Amino acid sequence: MNRIQVAVGVVTNSFGQVLLSRRHQSAHQGGLWEFPGGKLEPGEPVLAALFRELDEELGLRVETASPLIRIQHQYPERSVLLRVFRVDAHSGQAVGMEGQEIRWVNPTDLGDYEFPEANRPIISALRLPDVFPILNDDDSELFCLERRFREWMTRGVKMFEFRTSRPFTERFVEFLQPLFQQAHSAGIEIIINGPPGIGAQVGAAGLHLNSQRLLETELRPAAGFRWVGASCHNLAELLHAQNLGLDYALLSPVSATSSHPGGRILGWNGFEALVDQVNIPVFALGGMKPTELQLARNRGGQGIAGISAFAK
C-alpha cells in the first residue's frame, strides 16, 4: 500500500486561537475538522507543499514555519504520513478558498471537535509546552522542598514534573496537597511521578510513569488526569506508551549527564530514529541545554526536558 505524505500547518492568530478547516462531506472522512494542509506533489519538498496548500486553501502566505510533530497512521484504506509544522509567521486573512468552513478555536476547546484519528496527537503537541522542567526532590527538610515549590511557581512555568524518592506517607501527602492546590489556582499544571492513587490524592494535573511502572501498566490510568506520560529509553517502551494512549514521553539519555557521565547515550541521530517511529510527542531528556530546544524540534521532538538545566 502506498503511503500518502501530507503537509499540515498549525496556524494561530494574535489571540492564541488555532485555525481549523472542515472537510467537505464528499471527501474522505467528510464532515470532520482538521488542521489545514494537503498532499505533497511528486518530488515536492514538504515546506514548499505547506506554503502552497495554505495559500491555495486559505489565502495565507506562510513566512516561517517550524516542525511540530510527524505522525504515521494506517487507515483501513490508506496509509498517511503527516508532517506537521507550527506556522510561526504568516500574512493575509484566512478564507475558505475552496468553500470549506473554517473556524478559529481556543486550544482548550479542541477536545470538543471531531477530528480524523491521525490528527489526535497534534492536539496533545499543541497543548504541551516545548520545555518540560523536572523538579527533583533532594530529600532535604520539607520546609526546603516547600520553598523550592514556591520558587518554581513564580518562574512563569506552566507545567513541570515533580519527582521524589520519598515514600508517600500520609504526612507527606498532606504536605503536598496545598502546594498542588496553589499551583492549580495559579494555572500551573504539576505532573507527579508516582502511583496513580497518590496523584489523585494530591490533586496532580497529570501522572508520569517511570519505565518500570510503564511496562507494568496495561491500561491508561483513568483517575481523571489531564496528562499521562512516561519515561522511555528504547523503541519498545515508546511503542508501549503509544499503545496505552499516553500523551507524551521523555526519551533519554540523548546526551551524557553529570549523574551518568560514561553511560551509553542515544545521540541526536538515535533520538530522531526512535521518535520517527511513534506518533506521540517526545521530549529529549539527558544532558539537555536550553539552547538545544530548536535542535530537538528539528529532530522531530516536542522539545527538551531536564533537571540540571532548569534547576536555577
Query: Domains in the chain, please, with CATH?
Result: 3-119 (3.90.79.10), 131-310 (3.20.20.70)
Q: Identify any residues that bridge with 102 across adjacent strands, giving them in sequence order.
A: 21
For residue 303, what is its C-alpha cell? Answer: 522539545
For residue 262, what is its C-alpha cell? Answer: 560514561
Between β-strands 248-251 and 282-285, what pairing exists: parallel, antiparallel or unpaired? parallel
Lowest mean pLDDT among 79-88, 161-170, 220-229: 220-229
Report whether pLDDT(206) > 90: yes
Report whether pLDDT(303) > 90: yes
Mean of pLDDT values over 299-306: 94
Sheet containing 102-105: which strands, arranged edge to edge? 33-34, 18-22, 102-105
Q: For residue 108, what pLDDT is reported?
A: 87
Taking the C-alpha atoms of residue 61 and residue 231, their distance in angstroms, rounded to an integer, is: 39
Cβ proximity of 209 and 233 under 8 Å: no
Report whether pLDDT(215) > 80: yes
Asked whether the CA dihedral 293, 298, 303, 308 is positive or negative, the reply is: negative
Report whether pLDDT(1) > 60: no
List own/partner pairs for 157-160 with CB under 8 A and 24 or more apart.
Answer: 157/133, 157/188, 158/129, 158/187, 158/188, 158/189, 159/128, 159/129, 159/132, 159/188, 159/189, 159/190, 159/191, 159/205, 159/227, 160/132, 160/133, 160/134, 160/135, 160/188, 160/190, 160/191
What tens digit of pLDDT does each residue of 256-302 get? Answer: 876 666 668 899 999 999 999 999 999 999 999 989 999 999 999 99
Taking the C-alpha atoms of residue 310 and residue 307, their distance in angstroms, rounded to an integer, is: 6
Full-model pTM: 0.89
Segment of 13-17, 77-81, 232-236 carrying the highest mean pLDDT: 232-236
Q: pLDDT > 70: what percent of the chain? A: 96
For residue 227, what is its C-alpha cell? Answer: 496528562
Mean of pLDDT values over 235-259: 92
Q: Is 217 exposed, middle or buried, given 0-12, 13-18 or 19+ CB atoms closer than 10 A?
A: middle
Taking the C-alpha atoms of residue 66 and residue 300, their distance in angstroms, rounded to an integer, is: 10
Q: Which residue has the higher pLDDT, 173 or 308?
A: 173
pLDDT band at 245 (very low <50, low <70, confident <90, very high): very high
Q: For residue 60, what pLDDT is reported?
A: 96
Report whether pLDDT(217) > 70: yes
Q: Which residues contact 110 (CB under 8 A, 6 or more apart)?
A: 18, 123, 126, 127
Q: For residue 295, what pLDDT is reported?
A: 94
* Alpha carbon separation from 161 to 157, 204, 230, 255, 270 (Å, rounded): 11, 10, 11, 20, 24
- The per-residue pLDDT of the chain, averaged, comes to 91
Taking the C-alpha atoms of residue 93 and residue 190, their distance in angstroms, rounded to an integer, is: 37
For residue 112, what is its C-alpha cell? Answer: 470538543
Report whether pLDDT(311) > 70: no
Segment of 30-34, 108-112, 233-237 carrying the highest mean pLDDT: 233-237
